[in-house]
Amino acid sequence: MTPARLWSVVPAVLALSLMLLAALLTGVRAYPALTAAVCPGCYGLQRAAPGLYVERSMTPEDRARLIADVTAARAHLGAVFHDAGPRARLLACATEACNRRLGGRPGASGALAETLSTRLGSVVRLAPRGQSRIIVTHELAHVVLAQRNATTRVITGGLPAWVNEGLAVILSDDPRYLRPGSTPAQRCTAQPRPDLPASPHDWSRRAGADTAIYAEAACAMLIWLDGHGGLAGLPENLPSLPGLARR
């Protein structure tokens, strides 16, 4: 490329770079947890274990318990999917002030946790009330599904939200929505409605009004898994998940 030709493309490259920077800054304002994942110290977080950053004021006892829960969740999902476990950066707050800085809402109205998956990786924000093994496993299940089915499909709704959430409930064995047992008839606490939300937006809106929808989604996926080899058959059947099989 001649010098003249090289200089002729500089304005276009510069414009593209500015557009990408603007898009990045917009995302940072909307999702401060993404910024915190890049600069944990800027948000008062410090490394507690590989991939886990906690608020500096978190007690040693709470840190140890959370590290054990994260380790167990990763090991469980790694065993299910036959790999090293989900790759994500987890951010855990000990106070509501920290949680608000990372984008969480205060009190009972706020989510216990949130998973943000991008092409560059996944970030899990854990509110002070969301630091249990069940919640951590639920969120890391979302990470696995995003990584296995391509992040863009999860974000755009290619993987229906009810499938994503139903599997996360099952993989975390959440007793709020599942009974003990080995069959859908034994485990389901609510029968699934025919119009479970497919888009993340619709899911958030309806789940905010009625958390029983998690039990319905889990039941729907228990029924599907029952015909596809159960959890043992999930890794090889991921391409056949509802909403993906016909794409």
Task: Tell me, yes or no, whether 167 lies in a domain.
Answer: yes
Domain boundary among 133, 156, 179: 156
Distance between CA atoms of residues 141 and 112, nearest Å: 15
Is residue 176 domain-shared with residue 114, that is, in the same domain? no
pLDDT at 108: 60
Task: Tell me, yes or no, whether 12 lies in a domain.
Answer: no
Q: What is the pTM of this model?
A: 0.84
Residue 190 confidence (pLDDT) above 90: yes
Q: What mean pLDDT is predicted for residues 222-233?
A: 96
H helix runs in 82-210, sequence order: 96-101, 133-149, 151-156, 161-172, 184-187, 200-209
Is residue 173 domain-shared with residue 148, that is, in the same domain? no
- Say if residues 144 and 165 touch (Cβ distance below 8 Å): no
Q: What is the 3-state secondary structure (H, E, C) of 192-214?
A: CCCCCCCCHHHHHHHHHHCCHHH
Residue 128 confidence (pLDDT) above 80: yes
Is residue 86 domain-shared with residue 201, that is, in the same domain? no
Is residue 89 domain-shared with residue 164, that is, in the same domain? no
Distance between CA atoms of residues 217 and 191, nearest Å: 9
State the helix-helix crossing angle for 133-149 and 161-172, rounded to 10 degrees: 140
Domain boundary among 156, 188, 217: 156
pLDDT tens-place string over residues 154-166: 554 468 999 999 9
pLDDT at 247: 44
Is residue 39 domain-shared with residue 132, that is, in the same domain? yes
pLDDT at 243: 79
| Domain that includes residue 60, residue range | 29-156
pLDDT at 3: 52
pLDDT at 25: 54
Alpha-carbon dihedral 74, 79, 81, 85, rounded to 10 degrees:
30
Residue predicted with more confidence, 244 or 183: 183
Buried/exposed code over 196-211 (b: 16+ C-beta within 10 A; e: otherwise): bbbebeebeebbeeee
Q: What mean pLDDT is predicted for residues 137-156?
A: 77
Reported as half-sphere exposure (CB side, CA atoms, 13 A), residue 43 has a value of 28
Query: In degrees, to the nearest 5, what angle opens at C-alpha 100 toward C-alphas 174 and 211?
Result: 30
Is residue 183 domain-shared with residue 223, that is, in the same domain? yes
Task: Tell me, yes or no, whether 20 lies in a domain.
Answer: no
Residue predicted with more confidence, 14 or 116: 116
User: What mean pLDDT is reported for the chain?
Assistant: 87
Residue 22 confidence (pLDDT) above 50: no
Distance between CA atoms of residues 149 and 135, nearest Å: 21
Task: Tell me, yes or no, whether 16 lies in a domain.
Answer: no
Instruction: Name the pLDDT band for 85 (thresholds 50, 70, 90).
Output: confident
Task: Tell me, yes or no, whether 181 lies in a domain.
Answer: yes
The count of domains in the chain is 2
Distance between CA atoms of residues 219 and 159, nearest Å: 17
Q: What mean pLDDT is predicted for residues 55-60?
A: 98
52-61, 78-87, 125-134, 216-225: segment of lowest average pLDDT: 78-87
Reported as half-sphere exposure (CB side, CA atoms, 13 A), residue 60 has a value of 0
Task: Tell me, yes or no, whether 97 lies in a domain.
Answer: yes
- Cβ-in-10-Å burial (0-12, 13-18, 19+) of 122 comes to buried
Domain boundary among 112, 139, 156: 156
Task: Tell me, yes or no, whether 198 lies in a domain.
Answer: yes
Residue predicted with more confidence, 119 or 204: 204
- Going by their DSSP bridges, the two strands 52-55 and 45-49 should be labelled as antiparallel
Distance between CA atoms of residues 89 and 110, nearest Å: 20
37-41, 84-88, 124-128: segment of lowest average pLDDT: 84-88
Is residue 189 domain-shared with residue 149, that is, in the same domain? no
* Tokens 């007690």 sit on residue: 59
